[in-house]
Structure 1
Amino acid sequence: MTSHDDRADPPAEAAPAAPQRPGLTREARRAVLVVLMGAILAFLDSTVVNVALRHLSVDFDASLDTVQWVVTSYLLALAAVTPVSAWAARRFGPRRLYAWALAIFTVASALCGFASSAETLILFRTLQGVGGGLMMPVGQMILVRAAGPQGLARVMSAIGVPMVLTPVFGPTVGGLLLDHAGWEWIFWINVPVGVLALYLAVRLLPRDDAGEAAGPLDVPGLLLVSVGVVGVTYGLARAGMEGTLISAEVLLPFLVGLALTTVFVLRSLRVEHPLLDLRLYRNRMFGAASFATFVMGTAIFGGMILMPLYFQVVRHEDAVRTGMLLAPQGLGAAVGMFLAGRLFERIGSLTAVIGGVVCVAATLPFVLISAGSSYWLLGVAMVARGFGIGMAGMPAMTAAFRALAPSQVNDATPQLNMLQRIGGSMGTALFVVVLQQHLDDAGGRASEQASGFGVTFVWVLAASALAILPAVLMTAMERGAKPAPDESADADPAPGPDTHSRGAPAV
């Protein structure tokens, strides 16, 4: 078990400025391969199902409100199980837990394809969300341990690629499968990929010591945060579906969820063995990076929903062609992610500032969008915005992990994942509500519909500009925290002496 003193004085390698030779070990490259396959499955399944809702409604003779739960149940399951991933990884070992999560996701995917009613499909999608909700945080734990400080930026950039590409290509994949194979294959296509990923996980991931001293499971804390995060997520999802923030269906679950989450936070700061160590936020660098992760989730993932809707609502494109028109943004994001990992090794969080500035500048053309905007010009702007998204997305999370001792990674990972998802949900709900109000006023007039998209992009522009501020703060803290050679041993990136021991193994 890691002692109290060890937690208060972590190794100097946790400091952001510590000079390290960049690169990935063979073990880290294997971990990237395995976790990347799981990430593709989890993120793709979050988006690919959206295009099938109308088909499912017809095939199951169910209302769209009922079928919408095929998407919502998956998202709520993701939110519910993420908080317990830290404790479960300590108790059973990250490798074993990741393999079980992959197996659950793969089996649930097969069951979804055999569903005979909307209700059974919703049940199997919930099970699928349990697997997906464990895969991402536990996969990141594995990556951070395998990469070490010297390879952290590169592995985080690699795992971020499916995060920005799947919202772009998911509708295209879903549309092609619907047109040529049937809705069942939206789920069955996961099975061979999941089986291969499970085989590679068992063969390639290093064995870990399962059953370490995880401490007792904080059941009251788990209930508070799981129900709380589910309530917030559901309220935001309802806001997006209804196009309004002012309704009982939105406000009641959101406010109840917010209240329960607040109680969880206050309680976690007082109990001896909380489910998640919230004392990590006493580390100013981790706090700034966490806030950056949340705000960038709002700006980046919330803004991604608008262009697919523009192409379908204003330009009347189908799902397949919409995906092709969105490809430039995905390509720009992939290039940005690739360069971000290498640039972060040289200039640190300044990478996120550069990405944020590019993202803001590239959003300006969309503020002026019209019903007849050139697809070529939109494509160029999407390449630039995608590049900015790729540059800005991962540096904040990388900086958060670098600011911590290795034993604190398990607690940090689910918290960062929840912040990013809630930020994305808030951005999506806000932008959809703003857009829906303008679309209602526009009726069927394409020029006024396009004008509504332009106004909504003003909100995206503001959120993107706001996301730069914590990145600037992180950069300033990195510059001010560089220790002199004889002072590096005194660096203390840990939250402080009140942090309780978790007993997590070192990287």
Structure 2
Amino acid sequence: MTPLRKNLLIITVLLAAVMELIDATIVNVALSHMSGNLGATIEDTSWVVTSYSIANVIIIPITSFLTAKFGRRNYYITSILIFTICSVMCGSANDIWTLVFFRFVQGLGGGALLSVSQAVIFEQFPREKQATAGAIFGIGVFIGPTIGPTLGGYIVDHYSWPWIFFVNVPVGIMAIISCYKLLTEPPIKPVAKKIDWTGIMLLAIGIGTLQTVLERGETEDWFATAYIAWFTVISIVTLTAFVIWDLKISNPVVDLSVLRSKTLSIAAVLTFITGVGLYSSIFVTPVIAQRLLGYTPLQTGLMMLPGALLAVLALVFSGKIMQRGVSPVFIVAAGYISFIYFNWHMAHMSLDASDTYISTTLIFRSVGMAFLAVPLTTLAVSSLEPKDIPQGAALNNMMRQLGGSFGIAVINTYYTRRTAVHRSDLVSNITIENPQVAERINNGINYFMSKGAGFFEAKAQAIGLLNAQVVKQTSMLSYLDAFFFLGSLFVLTMPLLLFVRTKKRLAASVVIPDH
């Protein structure tokens, strides 16, 4: 393959991966518009997000099997085609459940775009430059979820919500044409095994119900809702059965035996926590900026832009120093420290925080996540035999996705509970005997009466204004607690790095094929 064709292929598959990652988060800012336009409740509309995540997590572990069964080129192009067609169908949906259905199918197509794209990019680089390949792929993994909400906000503000799906169509068509011309089968073609239908069924049901519990548990008040309780039981039973079945047969759809590698097991835990931090922080930060500080979606995106740009440089830098023999353990440690500092700094923020303060702090988040992207992927497969690398990498990718869903669910629950605590603390100090409270209410009454309101109406408005301030302060304190909680998770898991042993010049020896 000529250098031009190789570069075009890298750009194509990277754009496809970024398209998939953007689509995982782009709809978040459009949910209220979808709800009103389609005549659905916000709870029903949130299934647009949930269904996509469920499909993604189901398909990722079996991508290696599907690639071997149908051929990488056929499977990848078909996945892009499914993703693109479903983008059109999602944008054209006239009711909420049609949208949810096509969003689920879109997630099934999107699962291959991430994992197969990674394999293709790694193949285009010699062994001594595998870390650079990882950095290039890491750019897409990191940038996609970061710019998704901002892009979605811009589209919704200037056009309409269906266009968050329609924008995928030209990218998808170009990717299909380019892959048809450029993409080939891998040098070492995986052997298609006998189809493990039992394993696929148990995994799909187990992961699907677990993901539903994680995504919908807080909204549905957890086990107070019957289907959440039943789905919890089903996920426990089917995933336990899956593990037993997987370890029993000779050709499982997902080979869990690779977790006997201590390095992979530790990397999977760290990747899970990284997923918690990546998706939870990108969920909480825009909420604070837009709901509490009054930023527009575009302003929020611009505030996050410096960190995103520096993250690209950090990704390339981490790949380069790994290529020169620096242990990925040290880079992961640096990433953890940077992300811990980000959470500590955000946990001390106030409602008076400037955009410069937040933007500067977000740089530590971005750099921290960038330092974790490539080294953790390298660690995950470093101790595996070549034949086991696809399964190891697939499991590691699944852990990041599960970490993201788990993190958002836990943060929402934690936020709700801390909100109750902080509101109780604040309200206990708001009594008519408190001179500051009395003064604020009297000032409010005088202000609203000067605008033409009667005494009782002005008093009600003054009390309402005071309550709105309490709600705002309560929300802020609860989100700050959430940042402290995230930082604590990273502090508690960072010592696991002490148990990792790597070989010298590890990065140069790791090749990641289809997974």
The 2-side partners of 1:399 and 1:85 are apart by: 21
Indicate the residue corresponding to 1:390 in structure 2. Answer: 370
> Could you tell me which residue of structure 1 aligns to residue 350 of structure 2?
370
Aligned 8 A contact 2:380 2:393 in 1: no
Q: In structure 2, what is the equivalent of residue 3 of structure 1?
A: none
1:281 aligned residue (245, 250, 259):
259
Q: Which has the higher contact order (CA 8 A, sep 6+)?
A: 1
Q: Distance in 1 between matches of 2:225 and 2:484?
A: 25
Q: Which residue, out of 410, 413, 419, partners 2:399?
A: 419
* 1:251 positional shift: 4.4
Aligned to 2:463: none
How far did 1:30 drift?
Answer: 4.9
Change (3 A) 1:293 1:468: same
Counterpart position of 2:297: 319
Please state if 1:269 is matched with 2:247: yes
Q: How far apart, CA to CA, are the structure 1 residues paired with 2:301 and 2:95?
A: 29
Match of 2:175 among 155, 179, 197: 197
> Residue in 1 aligned with 2:326?
347
Cα distance, 1:431–1:289 mapped onto 2, change above 3 Å = same
Q: One-letter code of the match for 1:320? A: L
Selected match of 2:84 from 98, 106, 110: 106
Q: Secondary structure at the match of 2:248?
A: coil
User: Does structure 2 retain, via aligned residues, the 8 Å contact 1:397–1:416?
Assistant: yes
Question: 1:454: which partner in 2?
Answer: 480
The verdict on how the C-alpha distance between 1:461 and 1:74 changes in structure 2, with shifts beyond 3 A counting, is same
Q: Distance in 2 between matches of 1:29 and 1:201?
A: 12
Q: How does 1:222-241 map to 2 (within 5 A)?
A: 222-241=200-219
TM value normalised by structure 2:
0.83
8 Å Cα contact 1:353/1:468 also seen in 2: yes
Shift of 1:299: 2.6
Q: Which runs of 5+ in 2 are unaligned?
A: 424-466
Q: 1:318 to 1:200 in 2, by over 3 A?
A: same
* Partner deviation per Cα, 1:238-282 (whole Å, 9 max, x = no partner): 135357687555444234213322221222111111111111122
Say if 1:375 and 1:281 are closer, same or farther in 2 by CA, change over 3 A: same
> Sequence identity of aligned pairs in percent?
25
Residues 233-242 or 420-429, more deviating: 233-242
Give the stretch that moved more between structures: 173-182 or 236-245. 236-245
Distance across 2 between alignment mates of 1:406 and 1:26: 29
Q: Does 1:436 align with 2:416?
A: yes
Identify the range of structure 1 (421-430 vs 282-291) with the bigger mean alpha-carbon deviation: 282-291
SS at 1:304's partner residue?
A: helix
Match of 1:473 in 2: 499
Shift of 1:327: 2.3
- For 1:51-450, list aligned pairs within 5 A: 51-147=29-125, 149-208=127-186, 213-242=191-220, 248-345=226-323, 346-349=325-328, 350-440=330-420, 441-442=422-423, 444=468, 445=470, 446-450=472-476
Q: Kindly provide the CA deviation profile for residues 19-73 of structure 1, in whole angstroms up to 9, marking residues without a partner as x.
A: xxxxx98886555323211111111111111111111111111111221111111
CA distance in 1, matches of 2:514, 2:142: 30
User: Quick one: distance in 2 between partners of 1:107 and 1:289?
Assistant: 36
Is the CA contact (8 Å cut-off) linking 1:366 and 1:457 kept in structure 2? yes
Residue of structure 2 equivalent to 1:7: none
CA positional deviation for 1:437? 2.4
Q: Is the 8 A contact 2:67 2:514 kept in 1?
A: no
Q: More deviation in 394-403 or 206-215?
A: 206-215
State whether residues 145 and 406 of structure 1, in contact with CA within 8 Å, keep that contact through their aligned partners in structure 2: no
Structure 2 Cα separation of the partners of residues 275 and 105 of structure 1: 23
Q: Which residue matches 2:434?
A: none
Supply the AA of the counterpart residue of 2:395.
Answer: Q
| Alignment-mate amino acid for residue 473 of structure 1 | F
Aligned equivalents of 2:271 and 2:293: distance in 1? 33
Name the CA shift for 1:210/1:432 in 2 (closer, same or farther; >3 Å). Answer: same
Paired positions, count: 462
Q: CA deviation at 1:390?
A: 0.8
Q: Distance in 2 between matches of 1:254 and 1:337?
A: 38
State the one-letter code of the partner of 1:301.
Answer: Y
Following superposition of structure 1 onto structure 2, how do residues 478-497 of structure 1 map, counting pairs within 5 Å? Answer: 478=502, 481-482=503-504
Q: Deviations over 1:147-204 (max 9, x none)?
A: 4542332222222223322333212211221122211211110000111112222222
| Contact 1:332–1:384 (8 Å) recurs in 2 | no
Opposite residue 412 of structure 2, the aligned amino acid is: V
| Conserved? CA contact 1:140–1:413, under 8 Å | no
TM-aligned CA distance change 1:248 to 1:302, over 3 Å: farther
CA contact (8 A) 1:93 1:210 kept: no
CA RMSD of aligned residues (A): 2.8
